[in-house]
């Protein structure tokens, strides 16, 4: 499985000959200026919630690749009105796609679509197949519901957690979250894009290392094999 960081909370995942994009906000992110969205391919776009810093490029990417949106019922319905196909989910539900199983899990965060429409409940995704199992948390506070993930899903190979604080967990709470989800390899997101969420990279990495865990902070545009 190949994972590429596209900035903020946006990731491209290639698994089982399928291209997935999570929470794309690229064109409006100055830090991601070197990412050319016209070259990005996606079979599915997974949206954790409706805020602009997570959905800004979803319509463009979906239309250029004829991809489906996976999200909650409210968000999928909103995009269907724009002529974009989708697969609606709701919290606690799972579905078996050709690339693997997706479970839509609880997130503690607000949600509103760019035009002010109600964005439904915020969530995250646990995705697994015979190659990999991972958790994409979206925007969330630390919540005890995270303890349900290892009880209901396969063991995680890695997790993508927000670490920027102010609007989401900070890296201290993300470390606790990593304990709740029983995962030692964490990829950070939702940090540095704007002033409220700038972090001390060395302090964050050290905080995880002292607990015997790994925090990976990818440069935008970089990829790793997992």
Fill in the DSSP letter of residue 157. S
164 - beta bridge partners?
170
Determine, yes or no, domain membership for 109: yes
127 - beta bridge partners?
102, 134
- Cα distance between residue 138 and residue 172, in whole Å: 17
- In 3D space, the residue among 119, 173, 114 whose CA is nearest the CA of residue 146 turns out to be 173
Determine, yes or no, domain membership for 12: yes
Give the structural domain span for 50: 2-220
Predicted local confidence at residue 155, as pLDDT: 98
- Cα distance between residue 14 and residue 172, in whole Å: 30
Fill in the DSSP letter of residue 218. P
C-alpha distances in Å from residue 220, one per residue of 13, 20, 38, 129, 174: 14, 17, 16, 26, 20
Predicted local confidence at residue 53, as pLDDT: 94
Task: Strand 2-7: give its sheet, edge to edge.
Answer: 86-89, 68-72, 44-46, 18-22, 10-15, 2-7, 223-225
How many distinct structural domains can be found in the chain?
A: 1
Determine, yes or no, domain membership for 225: no
C-alpha distances in Å from residue 114, one per residue of 18, 32, 58, 125: 28, 20, 12, 21
Determine, yes or no, domain membership for 125: yes
Predicted local confidence at residue 143, as pLDDT: 98
Determine, yes or no, domain membership for 139: yes
- Cα distance between residue 15 and residue 3, in whole Å: 9
Determine, yes or no, domain membership for 226: no
Fill in the DSSP letter of residue 125. E
Q: Is the dihedral of CA 149, 153, 80, 40 positive or negative?
A: positive
pLDDT in tens, the chain (226 residues): 999 999 999 999 999 999 999 999 999 999 999 999 999 999 999 999 999 999 999 999 999 999 999 999 999 999 999 999 999 999 999 999 999 999 999 999 999 999 999 999 999 999 999 999 999 999 999 999 999 999 999 999 999 999 999 999 999 999 999 999 999 999 999 999 999 999 999 999 999 999 999 999 999 999 999 9
- 8 Å CB contact between 26 and 32: yes
Residue 112's CATH number: 3.60.15.10
pTM over 0.95: yes
Predicted local confidence at residue 54, as pLDDT: 96
Predicted local confidence at residue 167, as pLDDT: 97
Predicted local confidence at residue 162, as pLDDT: 98
Predicted local confidence at residue 15, as pLDDT: 98
Determine, yes or no, domain membership for 71: yes
Fill in the DSSP letter of residue 118. B
- Cα distance between residue 24 and residue 35, in whole Å: 11
- In 3D space, the residue among 96, 105, 98, 94 whose CA is nearest the CA of residue 159 turns out to be 105
Determine, yes or no, domain membership for 43: yes
């Amino acid at each position: 499985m190949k994972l590429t960081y596209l900035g903020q909370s946006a990731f491209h995942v290639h698994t089982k000959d399928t291209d997935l994009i999570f929470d794309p906000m690229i064109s409006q992110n100055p830090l991601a200026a070197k990412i050319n969205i016209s070259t990005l391919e996606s079979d599915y776009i997974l949206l954790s919630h409706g805020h602009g810093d997570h959905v800004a490029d979803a319509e463009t990417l979906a239309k250029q690749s004829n991809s489906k949106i996976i999200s909650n019922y409210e968000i999928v319905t909103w995009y269907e009105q724009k002529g974009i196909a989708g697969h609606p989910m709701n919290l606690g539900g799972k579905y078996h796609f050709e690339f693997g199983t997706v479970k839509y899990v609880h997130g503690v965060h607000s949600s509103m679509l760019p035009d002010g429409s109600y964005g439904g409940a915020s969530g995250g995704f646990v995705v697994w197949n015979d190659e990999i199992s991972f958790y994409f948390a979206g925007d969330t506070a630390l919540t005890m519901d995270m303890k349900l993930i290892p009880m209901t899903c396969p063991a995680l190979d890695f997790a993508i957690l927000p670490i920027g604080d102010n609007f989401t967990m900070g890296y201290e709470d993300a470390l606790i979250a990593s304990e709740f989800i029983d995962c030692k390899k964490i990829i950070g997101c939702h940090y540095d894009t704007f002033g409220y969420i700038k972090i001390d990279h060395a302090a964050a990495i050290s905080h995880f290392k002292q607990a015997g865990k790994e925090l990976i902070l990818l440069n935008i545009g970089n990829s790793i094999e997992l």
